[in-house]
Amino acid sequence: MHSVLTTCPFCACGCGLYLHVENERIVGVSPSKKHPISRGNLCVKGWNSIEHVRHAERLREPLIRKNGKLVKTGWNHALKRISHELLRIKKKYGGESIGILSSAKCTNEENYLLMKLGRAILKTNNLDHCARLCHSPSVLGLTNAFGSGAMTNSISELAGAEVILVTGSNTTEQHPQIARFIFEALDKGAKLIVIDPRRIELSKFAHIYLRPRLGTDVIWLNGMMKIILDEGLVDDSFIKMRTENFSEFKKFLSRSDLSQVEAISGISLEDLGRAAKMYAGAKRAIIIYSMGITQHVSGTDNVESIANLAMMTGHLEQEITGVFPLRGQNNVQGACDMGALPGMLSGYQRVDDPAVLDKFSRAWNADLPSTPGLSSVDMLHNAGRIKGMFIMGENSMLSHPDMKNVRASLENSDFLAVADIFLTETAEVADVVLPAAAFVEKDGTVTSTERRIQRMRKAIPPAHLSKPDWQIIIELARHMGYPMDYESPAEVMEEIALLTPIYGGVYYDRLETVQGLQWPCSDRNHPGTPYLHKKSFTRGKGLFACIGYRPPAELPDKEYPFALTTGRVYEHWHTGSMTRRISILKRECPEGFVEISPEDARVLGIINGEPVKVISPRGEVITRAKLVGSLPAQTLFMPFHFREAPANALTNNAVDPQARIPELKICAVRLEKVT
Ligand code: SF4
């Protein structure tokens, strides 16, 4: 038996784990004791991260649609068909009629190659991935404020914090190994502020817990900053030396009416004042946030308001401070870094910057499109707009809002190809399906939420006839007449390093240790960067933005009197394609549900476990009621992992006009008993 060090395939904590291999079978998993985050721990998903790899439902060979049915075919035939169809569509309608969805589950190298194929061969910037649904407002909002959209500091710094403010992040359930560092800080005497509409587990340990109404974050954040201003708790020297536009921002705050804060957000000024003083008064304080902040039509506004708060209190530029957007999937940070975004090439280099375009055109020996493309929401919610699509490792049918609309777009396209490890709900409607290798069957790198680039290592050969996505893309490029000559992902990373300044010093020989490297890492001698913005912000000076409140796009009314919010549960991950094929996780959480407060349940005569129908203007779902004390009145919660009770059949596809993220955190619904 031998052991192979790799990185967990689920969340962006990026835990290091060992795969124990015997006779080309993985017989066990154990955490790395030396890993900076795992430190000998894994959550239940990490411990059980391999069962799905051997699952009987793994895709075994390529499939092609014939007479309405997906039937087996050979690799050559499948790749030829994809190549022929996409090139035909490009010729007939232009590159802008083709959409490419990359994957936060795939490696950096795979994301880089797919965006190269999309831009250099198919001439499209319609390239995106699931960051659109989780942290596109962070990429945009933090870039506007600081010049970089990534987490400013490192996870382990949490353990030394004096104050931690957590908002819109159910950290114990979604990033359990990050929550461990919060508890370590609490053991050392740190103070915890939790601000969340749901009374999440972490709120039990909070020194201050505040419950805002859904979608009112800008209001309480502005209120908090006005109190900090009025109390004279701003960091004048930081503001003077490191930021710009504060005088405008100060005028804007001075004009804001505190009496509106309580009326709209539901948080009393007294409680907000206590939280404001605790956060602003600390020497070292950190803000953690996640999709509770970003998945709103005001997602970018919310993120920029958080940046304002950190800047006005000077909680940046040093260790144990900063803004922590907790990214979801294990490589969602890396997929963004690699340019799986409609307006950016790798390293956040803009597609409309002539110097950038020239650099990539020369390196790739290809003309490149220079107009930013469409987001995934704009590709998937406009039936007929996109004629041909290639989707690598994403299950958009379940993850995007307003499922009916997504189905119509996918079914109305001329051609859809999907590469995945299982026949997902999205693959089921494809014209060609390619069997991809699982994470233990390929080499590559992934980048965690703290910008840590780490190795994924091949431990066993690909199952059946599956292939790693990086090989699939290379073969597809060859079929399209554009040879890509890479022998291994290590060679792809050499090209990434050459063209991507923040990855300039990232080479496989430097990634052998369990620590990996944190970007920016500009050259071979650069040690990596544990925290950003030390002497200056990436954009020079930090920019204060004056942000007014914008209500959610859809609020409860007479017909739909409940607000529905959605999210994840501890045992499952995203659309459940992997975790729902793992027996322990299935045992612990076998099916979907809708959470409701006991008071509301009593009024409707609903008992715990009873089947109920949840209805929104877009669809209806039958699931079981779960009575919980953690929800406010007139609010429901549904996890989005379950195909039999798909929360996204109900959610609204209204988007943040800047980051184009849909408002997955609030829509109006009604609840009925099933008779
Ligand atoms: Fe994997 Fe995240 Fe659990 Fe760590 S915390 S073991 S990365 S799912």
CB 109 within 8 A of CB 492: yes
Q: Whose CA is nearest to atom 4 of ligand 1?
A: 15
pLDDT tens readout for residues 656-668: 999 999 999 999 9
SS (H, E, C) 367-426: CCCCCCCCCHHHHHCCCCCCCEEEEECCCHHHHCCCHHHHHHHHHHCCEEEEEECCCCCC
Six token digits for residue 264: 């709209």
Distance 212 CA to ligand 1 centre (A): 29
Mutate to test the pocket of ligand 1, among 41, 50, 177, 447 (most ligand atoms within 8 A of CB): 177
Distance 149 CA to ligand 1 centre (A): 22
CB 286 within 8 A of CB 178: no
Going by the DSSP 8-state scheme, the letter that residue 109 receives in this structure is H
Distance 572 CA to ligand 1 centre (A): 11
Strands 415-420 and 388-392: parallel
Distance of CA 502 to the CA centre of its chain: 20
Low-confidence stretches of the chain (pLDDT beneath 50) = none
- Sequence-distant (6+) residues with CB within 8 A of 312 are 225, 228, 229, 234, 235, 239, 246, 249, 544
Distance 207 CA to ligand 1 centre (A): 27
pLDDT for residue 223: 97
Give the ligand 1 atom nearest the CA of 177: 5
Give the ligand 1 atom nearest the CA of 13: 7
Mutate to test the pocket of ligand 1, among 8, 37, 448, 579 (most ligand atoms within 8 A of CB): 8
CA 320 – CA 161 distance, rounded (Å): 6
Distance 185 CA to ligand 1 centre (A): 20
CA 567 – CA 670 distance, rounded (Å): 18
pLDDT for residue 403: 87
Q: Whose CA is nearest to atom 6 of ligand 1?
A: 46
Return left, alpha or beta for 502; rule: phi > 0 is left, psi -120 to 50 is alpha, else beta.
Answer: alpha
Distance 175 CA to ligand 1 centre (A): 7
Distance 112 CA to ligand 1 centre (A): 24
Give the ligand 1 atom nearest the CA of 330: 7
**30 forms bridges with which residues in the sheet?**
18
CB 313 within 8 A of CB 141: no
**Please, is 189 exposed, middle or buried when counting C-beta atoms within 10 Å of its C-beta (0-12, 13-18, 19+)?**
exposed
- Sequence-distant (6+) residues with CB within 8 A of 91 are none
Distances (CA, A) of 4 to 142, 224, 249, 629: 36, 48, 52, 43
Distance 43 CA to ligand 1 centre (A): 5
pLDDT for residue 506: 97
pLDDT for residue 382: 81
Six token digits for residue 125: 């910037």
Give the ligand 1 atom nearest the CA of 9: 1
pLDDT for residue 514: 81
Flag whether the pTM goes above 0.85: yes
Query: What is the CB < 6 Å shell around ligand 1?
Result: 8, 10-11, 13-15, 42-43, 45-46, 176-177
pLDDT tens readout for residues 209-256: 999 999 999 999 999 999 999 999 999 999 999 999 999 999 999 998
